[in-house]
């Protein structure tokens, strides 16, 4: 029997590596519209990086990814991902935190919103009908590993049209949640 090496690994720097791994980065200029106040921020601030190994969109196939959110605030507002619904609302997802502290913001289709605390080794099962957004409230990179069906799709527009109803700030080291105005 031949013993082979796995296709993917998390080497010492905690970043997903493997032949078929790709990544993209979001800079402040790409996502400034999601923040309450974008004044004074450098357009070239790195906000987050998403590594993934993605399969063809065939039922039963799974993607694997890693999101690394930088410990940045935007005029006090904590760094966050754009957030999305899945295009196929039957497609669930798992998130596992490998480093850092923050929140997983969840919102149902009626707009009700709540959060789960994200901390090292917290494991989050996300119902397919929930929008999801990661927020780094800590002082270090937050790393969250994800597994989701390759047929999920990402619906970002739905979040743009019906945004999460809260914003998360860090004020004097404390996390403050504010209603979106
Ligand atoms: Fe997702």
Per-residue pLDDT of the chain (181 residues; tens, 9 = 90+): 999 988 888 766 678 888 889 999 999 999 999 999 999 999 999 999 999 999 999 999 999 999 999 999 999 999 999 999 999 999 999 999 999 999 999 999 999 999 999 999 999 999 999 999 999 999 999 999 999 999 999 999 999 999 999 999 999 999 999 999 8
Q: For residue range 38-90, list pLDDT tens digits in order.
A: 999 999 999 999 999 999 999 999 999 999 999 999 999 999 999 999 999 99
CATH of the domain at 65: 2.60.120.10
Q: How far is ligand 1, taken at its centre, from the CA of residue 172, in Å?
A: 32
Residues with CB under 5 A from ligand 1 (ion): 93
Residue 86 CA, ligand 1 centroid: distance in Å: 6
* 75, part of any domain: yes
CA dist., res. 2 & res. 4, Å (int):
6
Burial 83-112 (b: 16+ CB within 10 A, else e): bbbbeeeebbbebbbebbbbbbbbbeeeee
Q: What is the pTM of this model?
A: 0.95
The Å distance, Cα 50 to ligand 1 centre, comes to 12
Domain count, the chain: 1
Number of H helices and E strands in the chain, helices first, is 2, 15
Q: Is residue 46 part of a domain?
A: yes
Q: Report the candidate in 14, 53, 12, 9 with the shortest Cα–Cα distance to residue 142.
A: 14
Residue 142 lies in a domain: yes
Could you tell me which residues come within 8 angstroms of residue 32 by beta carbon, excluding any fewer than 6 positions away?
38, 41, 43, 74
Judge whether 6 lies within some domain: no
44: in domain:
yes
Full domain range(s) for residue 103:
20-172
User: In angstroms, what is the span from residue 3 Cα to ligand 1's centroid?
Assistant: 33
Does residue 147 lie in a domain region? yes
Which residues, at least 6 apart from 150, have a Cβ–Cβ distance to it below 8 Å?
Answer: 54, 55, 56, 57, 58, 61, 62, 63
């Amino acid at each position: 029997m031949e013993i082979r090496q796995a296709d993917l690994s998390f080497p010492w720097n905690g970043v997903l590596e493997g032949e078929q791994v790709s990544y993209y980065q979001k800079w402040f200029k790409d996502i400034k519209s999601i923040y309450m106040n974008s004044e004074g921020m450098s357009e070239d601030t790195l906000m987050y990086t998403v590594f993934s190994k993605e399969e063809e969109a065939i039922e039963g196939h799974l993607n694997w990814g890693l999101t690394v959110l930088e410990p940045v605030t935007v005029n006090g507002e904590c760094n966050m991902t754009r957030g999305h619904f899945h295009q196929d609302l039957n497609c669930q997802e798992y998130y596992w935190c490998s480093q850092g502290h923050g929140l997983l913001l969840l919102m149902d289709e009626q707009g009700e919103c709540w959060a789960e605390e994200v901390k090292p080794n917290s494991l989050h099962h996300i119902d397919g009908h929930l929008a999801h957004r990661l927020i780094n409230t800590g002082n270090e990179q937050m790393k969250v590993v994800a597994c989701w069906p390759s047929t999920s799709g990402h619906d970002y527009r739905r979040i743009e049209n019906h945004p999460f109803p809260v914003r998360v700030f860090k004020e004097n080291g404390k996390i403050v949640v504010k209603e979106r105005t």
